[in-house]
């Protein structure tokens, strides 16, 4: 049996290398993250049965084979026992890891793939167990919406604000703090007029004087912020939070982004008191496995989904049934639901 380590920048690339060198018959023995030259890499340890050895006709090889055979002849029982153990281990490894490999290929993070593979039940039960462990999501009065460019942050904010106004009969207001994005003010004014939601333009220094007045007049206040990036960084968010410790954050994330990119963003944001996720582009999303990153224990629960371009109607509160519908969308054969 040949055993070899394969390393790559992600698990999919490492598995591709295994397949190229060892083929479909490869057995995955172990996998995980390692450091090489200061970089995090994914490592897969794979094995494959050696092909039959060619029969040599040379006298020296023949004599060597006789010696080896004579040594082995007295230990046939041990050899048979070892072979049986080897076959059992091989079957166990294949049965255990094939499910994990399938999940990895579908875009499930490695830690969750292992959890799913060892879970005693179907995917529906797994999803609901992980979801309910996150607990009930609180809803604070001061919500700051944050997200990268292009995720639909401002549109999602106004949809959520209208949801509270229409379905909860709450007095809501939006405070626009985005002084960077071209056209941000015009977009905010247009949405404010359309939905009849009060809009205020302010910077954070002004708000330090006026926030108590807003709290007296409104049930919920939603803050629109610049897109996360070089101009508006995590450091600025932390400074804002230090100035207003009562602030809570909604992270707007696009469902069509790869989970590795999403986790990179989460690593920067996790120091903030993020109460929940707003998922956008749900109508563009085709297959549930690529959203299983939502089930990681550390990830805040999704609170709303934006499932279309229509304002304000394409917004929906996340429920057990809705989460199941999204996370099992397009899934058929990998595991029994």
- pLDDT tens digits for 167-181? 999 999 999 987 666
Q: List the one residue out of 236, 160, 175, 250 whose CA is nearest residue 211.
A: 175
pLDDT at 290: 86
User: What integer pLDDT is reported at residue 75 of this predicted model?
Assistant: 59
Residue 144 bridge partners (DSSP) = 223, 249
Same domain, 69 and 183: no
Domain identity same for 272 and 214:
yes
Q: Which long-range contacts (CB under 8 A, 24 or more apart) does 84-89 make?
A: 86/1
Is a pLDDT exceeding 50 seen at residue 334? no
Let me know if residue 242 belongs to a domain: yes
Considering the domain architecture, whether residues 97 and 132 belong to the same structural domain is answered as: no
179 and 88 in a single domain? The answer is no
In a domain, 116, yes or no: no
Split into its structural domains, the chain has a count of 2
Domain match, 28 and 142 both: no
Q: Going by C-beta distance under 8 Å and a sequence separation of 6 or more, which residues neighbour residue 131?
A: 295, 301, 320, 323
Is residue 316 assigned to a domain? yes
* Domain C-terminal end among 105, 139, 158: 105
pLDDT score for 66: 44
pLDDT in tens, 98-115: 778 788 878 888 889 889
pLDDT value for 317: 93
**52 has pLDDT over 80:** no
* 235 and 317 fall within a common domain: yes
By residue count, the chain amounts to: 337
Q: How many alpha carbons fall within 13 Å on the CB side of residue 315?
A: 22
The predicted model gives 291-318 an average pLDDT of 92
Do 159 and 226 fall into the same domain?
A: yes
73 occurs within a structural domain: yes
Position 77 confidence tier, pLDDT thresholds 50, 70, 90: low
Give the side-chain half-sphere CA count within 13 A for 223: 27
State the Cα–Cα distance between residues 243 and 108, nearest whole angstrom. Answer: 38
Kindly give the interhelix angle for 76-105 and 59-73, rounded to the nearest 10 degrees.
100
Cα distances from 99 to residues 28, 49, 105, in angstroms, run: 11, 21, 10
Say if strands 2-8 and 39-48 run parallel, antiparallel, or are unpaired: antiparallel
The answer as to whether 332 is a domain residue is no
Q: 176 and 319 share a domain?
A: yes
Q: What is the pTM of this model?
A: 0.70
Residues 71 and 158 in one domain: no
CATH number at residue 220: 3.40.50.300
In a domain, 217, yes or no: yes
Q: Considering the chain, what percentage of its residues have pLDDT values greater than 90?
A: 36
Asked whether residue 190 is domain-assigned, the answer is: yes
Mean pLDDT, the chain, whole residue set: 82
Helix (H) or strand (E) holding 99: helix 76-105
Per-residue pLDDT for 65 more than 50? no
Q: Are residues 101 and 132 in the same domain?
A: no
Strands 274-280 and 220-224: unpaired
Under 8 Å between Cβ of 258 and 107: yes
Q: Extract the tokens encoding 68.
A: 């080896």
Say yes or no: 304 and 220 in one domain: yes
Where is the domain boundary, 105, 137, 161?
A: 105
Q: What ranges make up the beta strands (E) of the chain?
A: 2-8, 27-36, 39-48, 142-146, 172-176, 199-201, 220-224, 248-254, 274-280, 302-306, 315-317
* 117 within some domain: no
For residue 62, what are its two tokens? 């023949």
Calculate mean pLDDT across residues 129-150.
Answer: 88
Query: Which structural domain range is residue 27 located in?
Result: 2-105
**245-283 per-position pLDDT tens digit:** 889 999 999 999 988 899 999 999 999 999 999 999 999
How confident is the model at residue 337, as a pLDDT? 47
Give the distance from CA 62 to its chain's centroid.
Answer: 58
| Residue 229 and residue 163 in one domain | yes
Structure tokens at 133: 């462990």
């Amino acid at each position: 049996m040949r055993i070899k380590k394969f390393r790559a920048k992600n698990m999919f690339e490492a598995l591709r290398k295994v397949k190229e060198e060892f083929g479909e018959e490869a057995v995955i023995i172990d996998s995980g993250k390692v450091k090489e030259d200061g970089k995090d890499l994914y490592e897969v340890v794979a094995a494959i049965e050696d092909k039959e050895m060619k029969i040599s006709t040379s006298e020296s090889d023949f004599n060597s084979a006789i010696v080896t055979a004579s040594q082995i002849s007295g230990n046939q029982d041990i050899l048979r026992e070892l072979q049986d153990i080897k076959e059992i281990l091989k079957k166990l490894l294949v049965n255990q890891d094939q499910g994990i490999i399938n999940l990895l290929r579908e875009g499930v993070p490695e830690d969750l793939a292992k959890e799913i593979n060892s879970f005693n039940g179907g995917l529906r039960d797994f999803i609901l167990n992980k979801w309910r462990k996150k607990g009930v999501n609180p809803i604070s009065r001061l919500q700051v919406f944050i997200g990268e460019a292009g995720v639909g942050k401002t549109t999602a904010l106004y949809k959520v604000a209208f949801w509270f106004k229409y379905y909860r009969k709450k007095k809501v207001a939006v405070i626009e703090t985005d002084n960077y994005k071209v056209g941000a003010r015009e977009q905010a004014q247009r949405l404010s007029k359309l939905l009849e939601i009060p809009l205020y333009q302010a910077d954070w220094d002004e708000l330090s004087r006026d926030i108590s007045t807003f709290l007296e007049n409104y049930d919920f206040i939603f803050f629109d912020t610049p897109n996360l990036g070089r101009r508006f960084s995590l450091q600025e968010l932390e400074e804002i939070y230090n100035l207003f410790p009562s602030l809570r954050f909604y992270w707007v994330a696009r469902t069509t982004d790869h989970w590795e990119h999403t986790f990179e963003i989460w690593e920067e944001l996790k120091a903030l008191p993020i109460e929940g996720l707003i998922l956008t582009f749900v109508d563009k999303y085709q297959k549930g496995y690529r959203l299983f990153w939502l089930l990681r224990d550390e990830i805040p629960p999704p609170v709303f989904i934006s499932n279309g371009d229509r304002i304000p109607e394409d917004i929906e509160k996340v429920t057990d049934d809705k989460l199941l519908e999204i996370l099992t969308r397009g899934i058929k054969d990998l595991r029994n639901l």
